[in-house]
Amino acid sequence: MATCGTCGTALDPGKALYDETGMLSCDRCLTLGQVRAGHARSNTNARAIAYGNLVLGAGSFFFTPLSIATFGVLAFVVGNVRSSEAQGAPLPDAGSRIFVAVIGAMLGAASLVLRLVM
Ligand SMILES: [Zn+2]
């Protein structure tokens, strides 16, 4: 008898599915796994955007419109952290993400001020 490799439920061989690692999986576990993988992917993207704000901030000294982008990224990072908390899954590195995004936005603001002064 085939059983799900994750939860151990007996599977109808005609309905057995395989996950991406080739393990037998029931419909429920397969869907759960895909949802989790999707969350992990979007979380990785959100983290890359947060830390990328430092690069944007540095770049804004050479290309002014980027300074506006740093404010947008900061807003996105704060919104992303809040929605994760609201979903009951706070991000372990929420503090450092916001910190880095704030530094990026401060660089963006500094480049704007420099531009006005010079
Ligand atoms: Zn299962």
The tens digit of pLDDT for each residue in 101-113 reads 999 999 999 999 9
SS3 17: strand
pLDDT at 17: 86
- pLDDT range class, residue 49, cuts 50, 70, 90: very high
Cα radius of gyration (the chain): 22
H runs (alpha helix) in 1-93: 27-59, 65-86
Report CA(33)–ligand 1 centroid distance (Å).
10
Q: And the tokens for 85?
A: 């908390």
Residue 25 DSSP code: E
Query: What is residue 18's predicted lDDT score, i.e. its pLDDT?
Result: 87
Which residues are in the CB-under-5-Å shell of ion ligand 1? 4, 6-7, 9, 26, 29
CA dist., res. 100 & res. 49, Å (int): 10
Could you tell me how many residues make up the chain? 118
Q: Distance, CA 81 to ligand 1 centroid (Å)?
A: 31
Judged against a pLDDT cut of 80, whether residue 1 lies above it is answered with: no
pLDDT surpasses 90 at 19: no
pTM score, two decimals?
0.75
Distance from the alpha carbon of residue 27 to the mean position of ligand 1, in angstroms: 7
